[in-house]
Structure 1
Amino acid sequence: MKNLFLAFAVTAFAFGYSQEKSINLETSKLRWEGKERSSKSHYGGLSFKSGDLKLKGTKIQGGSFIVDMTSLDVQDLSGGGKTRLEGHLRSDDFFSVEANPEAFLILNAVISDTNGLQILQGDLTIKGKTAPVQVEFTEVTASMATAQMVFDRSVYDVRFRSGSFFENLGDKLIYDDIAVQVNLYF
């Protein structure tokens, strides 16, 4: 009887309950990309301070993440250009990193789960402003998850060369949409 109960408990846990998995902060990666009208783009990375996904098997139920904005890194430039752009992105023209050293993402609702694509609704907080975002998980296994999202920087009062705040920027316009790709490892 004891073995039967144990088998039932293990099965119920594996199939009926969600499990919270913490991400590996060393191996999990976040990559961002921003583009200018001139077809020029820049990309780089950010590190996580913490992160957890709530999983039921390989189905995501929710999650929460803290991104270390002080880790903002430009990866497509080197030398002085890299240093200047990193400083500018950390400045009040963009993400005001000194005053806002962390960004937050809370995944709180499953929107769609079809053909291996899981779309979740979340709340993204940057510079103290919170707005809804959708996050698309394209691969989820017991040991990793891959996701992507796009957020509109103007919603978070990131104004520099934004067409949402300024007119007649011509080729100097920087698009508001920032693409983010994430590889999470547990």
Structure 2
Amino acid sequence: MKNFKNPLVLVLIAFATLSFTTITKEIKKVNTKESKVVWKGYKVTGSHEGTVSLESGALHFDEDKLVGGEFVIDMTSISVTDLSGDYQKKLEGHLKSDDFFGINNHPTAKLVFTKVKAKGKNSYEVTADLTIKNKTNPVTFEISVYGGKATASLKIDRTKYDVKYGSASFFDGLKDKAIYDEFDLVVDLVF
């Protein structure tokens, strides 16, 4: 018992234990050029869709099981793909304005996994903190991981992030000009 009080003996025991322990955690960086994030917003008279780019991202694994992740979204890259010409430029400018995502003051958004629960061999339920315009709220979604790819679909309530323009929840009399509070993100990751 006397030897265990010696700090050198404790260090040697710790070193020996770690030497025979396999570290199985791995962080896999997302290929931001090959990955794709598609958004779709809905209004009374239809919908619009486009893309937004990832600035960075990584998925965390313990052996082959997903255990975490974090992503930074480049909000300055938001684009509209269902329109062209002046209509496209006008909507992109409006989405980047303070009415929507205010990219001059909030050029990025962030998603950080806080809980990952296996639902099947390659399927997980994720709870994450999503930060848009310096407002953070939890979101829950499913993600599937297979090989070096992952896919997920998220439904986001924009009003929780102070994006209230055209929301019938906050403004009366909008009629067919109303924009629904929720929008979709469909994410295809390559890592």
Match of 1:73 among 68, 79, 84: 79
C-alpha deviations, 1:81-120, integer Å up to 9, x for none?
A: 0000000000011000111000000011024523643110
2:9 aligns with none
- The answer on whether the counterparts of 1:150 and 1:179 sit within 8 Å (CA) in structure 2 is yes
Residues in 1 aligned to 2:66 and 2:171: alpha-carbon distance in whole angstroms: 39
- The answer on whether the counterparts of 1:104 and 1:125 sit within 8 Å (CA) in structure 2 is yes
Match of 1:176 among 168, 178, 181: 181
Who wins on radius of gyration, i.e. which is larger?
2
Residues in 1 aligned to 2:63 and 2:146: alpha-carbon distance in whole angstroms: 8
Residues in 2 aligned to 1:61 and 1:109: alpha-carbon distance in whole angstroms: 8
Matched, 1:55 2:68: no
Residues in 1 aligned to 2:138 and 2:186: alpha-carbon distance in whole angstroms: 17
- The answer on whether the counterparts of 2:123 and 2:145 sit within 8 Å (CA) in structure 1 is no
- The answer on whether the counterparts of 1:33 and 1:44 sit within 8 Å (CA) in structure 2 is yes
1:4 aligns with none
User: TM-score, normalized by length of structure 2?
Assistant: 0.85
Percent identity between the two aligned chains: 42
1:158 aligns with 163
Aligned pairs, number: 173
C-alpha deviations, 1:117-147, integer Å up to 9, x for none?
A: 311000000001000001211x312311111
Q: What value does the CA root-mean-square deviation take over the aligned residues?
A: 1.8
Matched, 1:148 2:166: no
Aligned letter for 1:69? M
* Residue correspondence of structure 1 range 20-99 to structure 2 within 5 A: 20-38=27-45, 40-99=46-105
Task: Note the residue ranges of structure 2 that are not aligned, 5 or more in a row.
Answer: 1-19
Residues in 1 aligned to 2:30 and 2:100: alpha-carbon distance in whole angstroms: 28
1:126 aligns with 132
Report SS of the residue matched to 1:154.
Answer: helix
C-alpha deviations, 1:5-24, integer Å up to 9, x for none?
A: xxxx79x55xxx22110000
Report SS of the residue matched to 2:110.
Answer: strand
Residues in 2 aligned to 1:172 and 1:158: alpha-carbon distance in whole angstroms: 16
Note the C-alpha offset of 1:172: 1.1
User: TM-score, normalized by length of structure 1?
Assistant: 0.87
- The answer on whether the counterparts of 2:152 and 2:187 sit within 8 Å (CA) in structure 1 is yes
